[in-house]
Amino acid sequence: MRISEVRIKLMEDPSDRLCAFCSITLDDCFVIRDLKIIQGAKGAFVAMPSRKLTDRCPKCHYKNHLRANFCNQCGVRLHAERASKDDDGRAKLYADISHPINSECRDQIQQLVISAYEEELVKSQQEGYVCSYDDFEEERYATLNEEHDEDNATPRSPQRPQSAHNSNRATSHLTLETETGHMLRVDPAKEKHEQAAHEPLPPDKHRPTASPSTEGFGEGII
């Protein structure tokens, strides 16, 4: 096996134990990503890409990582010290996704990656430095939903829902103002009746109309 390329992505915080991420290319045809360079007590070392170990909730069977104190689905409290221990008594919380199976391969990866990391530290001090690590825009910022923000920016007064009884009452009467300034309530059932009472009656075609009399008292009937 030949490691044909190593790419390094430095971390911004120099005080953090996680110094960098890296990817290695094997024989110009296979890439392994997300190896970590970690500062340990005896210097920097390379950690293989890994995933968090999980177990299932006994109540809802949802998977939770071993450090979770509560189920992320149903909220039931979980035992905090349920992870298995290694020979040194440390909890096994992660499992390597890919890893070397012999010490010769491990030493080769360790030597080449640490050497590339030290070279990347020197390059990062130069003007116009550009990282060659492919992070697939993982560090970019998400865009905001402006339409949603505008809706939240304009507060809306809460509206009391009208019950069926109140809605019927609201539409069952009208309010009219008289010539004297008094307010009268008029029900729709009475509206047409009262309107007809105030309007003059139409002339009756079959009823003869009397001509105005020239005398003071009109015509009498004997």
Q: What is the pLDDT of residues 74-128, one digit of tens each?
A: 999 999 888 888 888 888 888 889 999 999 999 999 999 999 999 999 999 988 8
In a domain, 18, yes or no: no
Tell me the pLDDT tens digit for each residue of 120-147: 999 999 888 888 887 665 666 777 887 7
| The pLDDT value given to residue 211 | 52
What's the predicted TM-score (pTM) here?
A: 0.55
Q: What is the 3-state secondary structure (H, E, C) of 3-59?
A: EEEEEEEECCCCCCCEEEEEEEEECCCEEEEEEEEEEECCEEEEECCEEECEEECCC
- pLDDT for res 62: 95
Residue 214 maps to a domain: no
Residue 20 lies in a domain: no
pLDDT digits (tens, 9 = 90+) for 21-69: 999 999 999 999 999 999 998 899 999 999 999 999 999 999 999 989 9
Task: Give the span between the Cα atoms of 22 and 36, in whole angstroms.
Answer: 6
Q: Is residue 184 part of a domain?
A: yes
Please indicate, yes or no, if residue 53 is contained in any of the structural domains.
Answer: no
Mean pLDDT for all residues in the chain: 78
Q: Which residues lie below 8 Å from residue 121, measured CB to CB, with a gap of 6+?
A: 10
The pLDDT tens digits for 149-175 are 666 666 656 566 555 455 445 455 566
pLDDT of the residue at 206? 53
Indicate the residue type of 211: S
Q: What percent of the chain has pLDDT over 90?
A: 40
Do residues 74 and 62 lie in contact, with contact meaning Cβ atoms separated by under 8 Å?
yes
Domain assignment present for 193: yes
Which residues constitute the domain of residue 191? 173-197
What is residue 64's three-state secondary structure? strand
Cβ atoms of 74 and 60 closer than 8 Å:
yes
At 222, the pLDDT band (50, 70, 90 cuts) reads very low
| In the predicted structure, residue 204 carries a pLDDT above the cut 60 | no
> If you ran DSSP here, which 8-state letter would residue 168 be given?
H
Tell whether 177 is covered by a domain. Answer: yes
Domain assignment present for 26: no
- Name the domain count of the chain: 1
Residue 27 is predicted with a pLDDT of 93
